[in-house]
Amino acid sequence: MTFTPHGKHLIAGIWVGGETRFTSEPAHGPAHNFSAGSPEHIDQAVNAAEDAFWSFGYSSRKDRAAFLNAIADEIEARGEAITEIGTQETGLPVARLQGERGRTTGQLRLFASHILSGDYLDRRHDEAMPERAPLPRSDLKMIQRPIGPVAVFGASNFPLAFSTAGGDTAAALAAGCPVIVKGHSAHPGTGEIVAEAVHAAIVTCDMHPGVFSFVQGGSLEVGQALVQHPLIKAVGFTGSLGGGRALFDLCARRPEPIPFFGELGSINPMFILEGAGKARGADIGTGWAGSLTMGAGQFCTNPGTVVILKDQAELFTTAAAKALEQIDTQTMLTDGIASAFRKGQSRIAASEGVQAVLTTTCDGRGATPYLYQTTAAQWLANDDLGEEVFGPFGLVVLADDLEQMHSVAHALQGQLTCTLQMEASDEEAAKSLMPILERKAGRILANGLPTGVEVSEAMVHGGPYPASTNFGATSVGTMSIRRFTRPVCYQDIPPGLLPDCFQI
């Protein structure tokens, strides 16, 4: 099945064009022409979402679950076509797109199951105590309610799982919030075909057409118009620190400030403790190299920095460099990402006290791995060394002792993940690091690799800034629905006026 994009926006059930257009820049295959979004498109979509909220926000959990499952069905029905255009636009391999499609439909179905159970509602009831002295107590009931229309920005590095019908969209729709997606210009055809799937599910389930709109990427003012629209109540974003911070500031400066749930950047440090370094240094190096280069290093959980005792570094770095040498040139998602990767690599390479372990040459959209090392003292003295280089880039930090590892941990910015490589003999050292790492990251791993984020009940994909802009939230897992609900208390409200979801 071959899909040829028509290049239009989906706004309240209607495919519409516009005067301004852009051409896609695929890694291979044909380029296509698309209508570029405008503030007018945004206004139409948001107003339709607000109108839809008066029915969708008060719909039953059963109906919303059926809708989410229908979206998953429609995506699966277009599976081959999605993979074809997705690989063309991004350069990602077929197996990666197939796996990501399964993740996307899987999280839609997980949210359908999750809302049917009702646990996310956090229902609470304090029964009336009219005879209590000195003051009686009213009957109090509390429940989580949807907040209203939500804006979602498609991610460049996950054309399916973090884009049109990805985790942010699934969580918002599950909560009862209509969604306006601003598609990413790196994969507009992929975004369009997934939007078609959502639209088909809307028709099948007889939902208000304003429950979902898709506007193709346009100028910066399109994104600004979306986050500043007075009817938007929250924003989900996965992308660069610079772009995310600019949108975050716009949300904060609105007459009515709204939450901006941005996942922005992380170096995901790995600490190799003494016993692990002695027992498994080479094996850890080989495994780490595979994680570092997975998807051309374009995962937000890419473990870009390793902290290891200097007298144990040779086993690790030798094995890592040997494994990295075997990695062929990989295609990056966009020319812009590839250019930023090369600039980041050059910036770190030129820093004082940084030594090359493995250098390569890459150009265009091709990426090859780089490996450097420096001392903990140099790393602590230069904030640039703690900045993310998005791509297959690794930095090994050599620590004199455990105390210096502590110093590096204390100096970290907020992270999505921190990893401990440890043996049983390292437990006391690991225990001493845990309080620091808990304050730095949303997920802490032992003897694992952070690439690969399970979509589940207990997952946290977030962390202190700049890993994310809201440390109390996650963008992966069922807890992410909390971003798009708020608690409402009902005092002495008659049963007939209460939301239906108070019933188990």
Catalytic residue chosen out of the listed positions 84, 192, 263, 388:
263
Strand segments (E) across 111-178: 124-126, 140-146, 150-153
Query: Coil, helix or strand for 472?
Result: coil
76 is catalytic: no
Distance CA 214, CA 163 (A): 11
Q: Which residues touch 450 (CB under 8 Å, ≥6 apart)? A: 268, 270, 291, 301, 302, 303, 416, 417, 419, 443
Q: Buried (b) or exposed (e) across 90-127, using 16+ Cβ within 10 A?
A: bbbeeebbbebbbbbbebbbbbbebbeeeebbeeeeee
Per the CB < 8 A criterion, the answer to whether 254 and 279 are in contact is: no
What the block records as the tokens of 65 is 């679950």
Helix, strand, coil tally for the chain in percent (to 5): 45, 20, 35
Catalytic residue chosen out of the listed positions 300, 362, 418, 501:
300
Distance CA 395, CA 397 (A): 6
Q: Buried (b) or exposed (e) across 10-35, using 16+ Cβ within 10 A?
A: bbbbebbebeeebebebbeeeebebb
Positive or negative: CA dihedral 272, 278, 283, 286: positive
Distance CA 142, CA 356 (A): 58
89 is catalytic: no
DSSP letters, 268-311, are --EEE-HHHHHHHHHHHHHHHHHHHHGGGG-STT---EEEEEGG
Catalytically active residues are 263, 300
